[in-house]
């Protein structure tokens, strides 16, 4: 009997603790905050393409390889780090002229071979961007696309934006608690996210057109713009 009373007493205590915990959790306040930080873009990544068509497979591949070797040599001359240059596409395929012969009968006559490869480059010296592109063009590179500007200070921008978001959330929570005649307590939990904003990828450019005036030192053809990072946070405060 005594044992049963202890069990009942213990059960009641647990129920009371759960009720208190629930009441405490119910005295909370969710708020959100948003912060933004910006910096001038100081680096750019882009893709250059080698597109060669020759009558023979071996010739197309050899000429493509030759341009690639020149590209890697230029990268070394401009002190581009190996980790900042990467091949991301390579294809050699036959070209069939008039795939359907007389009477719509399939024809497999190969007239040439097209060798195509893309290489992505991260360039960190925007002042010499036009110089680099001009040299690449002279080496046999004949395509360029997917420009993407960024900032080397990206982590610092994230931290700054998050700090602003947290300050905004705290100020909002204090104002709301004050209006309700409550006192803000400790932080129970925080959730956050990050959003990159700023210049996005650019469409494919004609190498000759985009660099027509640059080597002569006339008006620049690059507009890096600004990189903006936005942080959103949600904070759960307890009310005392």
pLDDT grade for 103, boundaries at 50, 70 and 90: low
Work out the mean pLDDT of the chain and round it to a whole number: 81
pLDDT on residue 218? 58
Contact between 190 and 235 (Cβ < 8 Å): yes
pLDDT on residue 186? 92
Percent of the chain with pLDDT over 70: 74
The beta strands (E) that lie in 55-179 are given as 85-96, 110-123, 143-150
Over range 98-114, report the average pLDDT: 72
Over range 112-133, report the average pLDDT: 95
Any idea which fold 27-42+152-240 has?
A: Translation Initiation Factor IF3 (3.30.110)
Over range 102-107, report the average pLDDT: 62
C-beta atoms surrounding 187 within 10 Å: 14
The reported pTM is 0.68
Helices 129-139, 57-77: axis angle to 10 degrees equals 150
Q: What is the CATH number of domain 43-95+107-150?
A: 3.30.70.2970
Contact between 121 and 136 (Cβ < 8 Å): no
pLDDT on residue 10? 43
Q: What span, in angstroms and rounded, lies between the C-alpha atoms of 238 and 186?
A: 6
Over range 202-224, report the average pLDDT: 50
What residues form DSSP beta bridges with 234?
Answer: 32, 191
Every domain of the chain and the residues it spans: 27-42+152-240, 43-95+107-150
pLDDT digits (tens, 9 = 90+) for 149-196: 999 999 999 999 999 999 999 999 999 999 989 999 999 899 987 655
Over 90: is that where the pLDDT of 105 sits? Answer: no
Minimal CA–CA distance to 185: which of 35, 34, 26, 22?
26
H/E element, 238: strand 226-239
What residues form DSSP beta bridges with 134?
Answer: none
pLDDT on residue 193? 73
- Do the domains 43-95+107-150 and 27-42+152-240 match in fold? no
Q: What span, in angstroms and rounded, lies between the C-alpha atoms of 79 and 215?
A: 20
Over range 195-215, report the average pLDDT: 43
- Locate 178 and state its tokens: 């004050």
């Amino acid at each position: 009997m005594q044992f049963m009373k202890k069990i009942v007493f213990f059960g009641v205590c647990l129920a009371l603790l759960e009720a208190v915990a629930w009441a405490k959790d119910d005295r909370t306040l969710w708020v959100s905050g948003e912060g933004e930080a910006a910096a001038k873009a100081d680096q750019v990544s882009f893709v250059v393409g080698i597109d060669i068509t020759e009558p023979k497979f071996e010739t197309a591949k050899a000429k493509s390889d030759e341009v690639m070797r020149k590209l890697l040599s230029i990268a070394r001359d401009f002190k581009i780090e190996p980790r900042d240059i990467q091949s991301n596409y390579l294809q050699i395929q036959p070209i069939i002229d008039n795939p359907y012969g007389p009477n719509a009968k399939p024809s497999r006559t190969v007239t040439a071979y097209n060798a195509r490869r893309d290489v992505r480059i991260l360039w960190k010296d925007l002042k010499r961007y036009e110089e680099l592109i001009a040299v690449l063009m002279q080496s046999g590179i004949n395509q360029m696309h997917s420009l993407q500007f960024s900032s080397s200070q990206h982590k610092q921008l994230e931290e700054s934006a998050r700090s602003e978001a947290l300050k905004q959330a705290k100020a909002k929570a204090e104002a709301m608690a004050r209006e309700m005649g409550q006192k803000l307590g400790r932080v129970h939990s925080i959730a956050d996210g990050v959003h990159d904003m700023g210049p996005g990828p650019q469409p494919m450019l004609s190498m000759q057109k985009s660099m027509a005036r640059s080597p002569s030192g006339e008006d620049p053809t690059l507009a890096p713009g600004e990189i903006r990072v936005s942080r959103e946070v949600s904070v759960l405060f307890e009310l005392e």
